Structure 1
């Protein structure tokens, strides 16, 4: 399983003329990878994510999933949006169930009901299953949206700033639940997430795609995050590999292409750490 983006282009007509949002984007997301897209507003992160989901057409190039062209939405891909997108008249359980029925019409009721219970339980919402979205907090609504996406059993999960509207404590809890669901509760093989958070990207990702604004190439650099899982958010910040990735991202996001040409970055490779001395 792999998600391949091959030299794609996307432009929009604006009052100022044609604006190229995606410019020759090339990348591959492999099985069991979590990839984050990060960059300033207007660099094309969400446009790229929506193209992967089949929600946006592209002007050139191709996007394929396991060799099959993506030319529209499909049950092999599920999306989580920042604004929850729950149906207000339905309960949390019904919101999950209706999505599964639409995406998987060949599944029987027993399988659908089993998935609803499984994923609402996994995000701690089974006891709230009969409540409507207006009766629960924003964090609970987003947990329901995450459960709904996984209940469809997609091969690829696409998330557009899923934690951006949440407070810090709720965001941290949902980040952990997302990783737990992906790693232990689901058959989802690939996760691609748009984020504005440098620390969030490092904590969650295997690779980070740093994107830039027009007229320069859409992808500035793809950074490997060489940190073992599971990752503890408290201790990971003391790992020199974490600091190196953080510094590299800050450098790329706060300098212009001209500045980077004039001031080549230092070597960001990190030597393996020596084992801690034994005590006693």
Structure 2
């Protein structure tokens, strides 16, 4: 059953609207999903950014230090989307948007790919159509398509990955405005991914002596496990801090809820 979570039209403790404090997050798509009720788009390898009509922030609420000309191109209406530099460019994008002093040459390569109107009316399909009117040199509304079978969905996924894409997003066409992790929005990738919080850092041994050997992480459901693969030597020298969130890939889960063959992907993009 789809979990409906109506957007709260109230301000949070930090003075930010509820959608900015807890934006809509995707669940992993189930096997053999019928895509007909969904609008399908590319899963962008970008950095989530929320625009409230005046400020551009990361998921954490921290402001994005974007150039004045970039912010001037954004409307007074709230938008939700991702800062994106192109496929397989996440590291360069992450470095660019983290700078306190923005570098113009980097930001000229970045687009704000928008996929939601947090204060918009109607079904998601109606909101997505209206988003197209915001297109300009900075704003790039996400393009959607309809697919008519699980086979067509899998074929489109394979084609997208072959072109360097990360996967697909499926947003239910009838979805209301919602916050939090919800079945209204699904993600489909060759391997599932999820986020966890770092609760400990274990020292390495042998070749990894003096470096980080593994992270002890905890899922939102309270499941703890060791994450020991997928790290560069640079990250092992300077591992994510306790309390930070990381994204990992995995194949499936054990009956106890632990991910099988989990591998570090990156530090989560909430900054």
TM-score normalised by L of structure 2: 0.28
When you count strand as a share of all residues, which structure comes out higher? 2
When you count helix as a share of all residues, which structure comes out higher? 1
